[in-house]
């Protein structure tokens, strides 16, 4: 539904701020509706579609989607081929000025090789016929890290994710080599939290913090069969503090490169 709102606006050649002014809506709120991390009331969706003079069939489809979504911070469970949460993640990644990714168990998706990603997907409960679609989507997401004006990424990764064998030894060797190549690019920072630091709150689970030049931050949390987006200020501030804690426990970029080189042998 969120992607559809953005598509119809762009099809009518309206800028986001232009439409927000016309509807007397905060542009940051409209942006969050389009990203899919904040759910617009059905009547607001109808008002947007009416102002843009969207045809009846498209209006009916989008309103039907809007009526089945609830909550200011929303949860996507029982994912389908390409779940709504994945669409929202891709929108956040494309729009962010900075992504901070904490990953305690696996290599972050934006830094995975195709073989590593396929091994992860094959080991999950995803149907075999859906794996290729998920893999293509994951690899397309990585394009934000290269080309003109790439997104900045700060990846904080547990040493366990480097040592844990996914697929086989050759796949892991290629994956570590891939991290080494990416870690020296100007827009990507890779820092490793060594195993010997002991317990810390980051071990509870992975998350991504998306920061935007004009909008408030968004946190994305992913688990086995569900994911959630959080944009309440108090909650996102808590994750900023957790990022600082993790950075304090992580090796420097140079020391992290040294650990990766050692793991690649």
Which pLDDT does position 233 carry in this prediction?
Answer: 87
pLDDT in tens, 229-246: 888 889 999 999 999 999
- Spell out the domains of the chain, with CATH numbers in brackets: 2-66 (1.10.260.40), 75-264 (3.30.870)
- The tens digit of pLDDT for each residue in 63-91 reads 766 765 544 444 444 344 455 677 778 87
Number of Cβ within 10 Å of residue 63's Cβ equals 15
Residue 74 has a pLDDT of 46
What does the pLDDT average to over 199-204? 91
Residues 6+ apart with CB under 8 A from 3: 34, 36, 87, 91
> Which of 81-85, 119-123, 150-154 shows the lowest mean pLDDT across its residues?
81-85
Contacts of 105 (CB under 8 A, 6+ apart): 158, 160, 161, 164, 206
pLDDT at 3: 65
Confidence (pLDDT) at 80: 41
d(C-alpha 172, C-alpha 119), whole Å? 10
Closest listed residue to residue 83, CA positions, set 231, 230, 228, 235? 228
CB 217 within 8 A of CB 211: yes
Q: Token match 């994951």: residue?
A: 138
Residue 156's SS3 state is strand
- Helices and strands (H and E) in the chain: how many: 12, 7
Most confident of 43-52, 98-107, 126-135: 98-107
Per the CB < 8 A criterion, the answer to whether 174 and 113 are in contact is yes
């Amino acid at each position: 539904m969120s992607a559809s709102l953005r598509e119809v606006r762009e099809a009518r050649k309206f800028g986001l701020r232009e439409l927000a002014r016309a509807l007397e809506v905060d542009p940051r709120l409209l942006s969050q509706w389009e990203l899919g991390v904040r759910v617009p009331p059905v009547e607001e969706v109808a008002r947007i579609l009416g102002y843009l003079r969207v045809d009846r069939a498209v209006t009916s489809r989008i309103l039907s989607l809007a009526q089945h979504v609830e909550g200011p911070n929303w949860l996507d469970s029982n994912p389908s081929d390409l779940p709504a949460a994945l669409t929202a993640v891709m929108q956040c990644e494309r729009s962010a000025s900075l992504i901070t990714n904490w990953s305690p168990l696996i290599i972050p998706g934006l830094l995975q090789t195709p073989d590593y990603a396929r091994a992860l997907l094959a080991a999950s409960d995803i149907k075999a016929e859906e794996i290729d679609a998920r893999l293509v989507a994951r690899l397309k997401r990585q394009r934000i890290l290269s080309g003109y004006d790439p997104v900045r990424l700060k990846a904080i990764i547990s040493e366990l994710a480097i040592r844990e064998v996914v697929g086989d030894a050759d796949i892991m060797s290629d994956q570590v080599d891939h991290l080494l190549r990416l870690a020296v690019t100007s827009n990507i920072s890779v820092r490793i939290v060594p195993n010997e630091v002991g317990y810390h709150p980051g071990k509870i689970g992975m998350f991504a913090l998306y920061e935007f030049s004009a909008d408030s931050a968004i946190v994305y949390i992913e688990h086995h069969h569900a994911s959630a987006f959080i944009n309440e200020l108090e909650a996102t501030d808590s994750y900023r503090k957790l990022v600082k804690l993790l950075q304090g426990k992580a090796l420097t970029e140079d020391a992290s490169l040294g650990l990766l080189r050692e793991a690649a042998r």
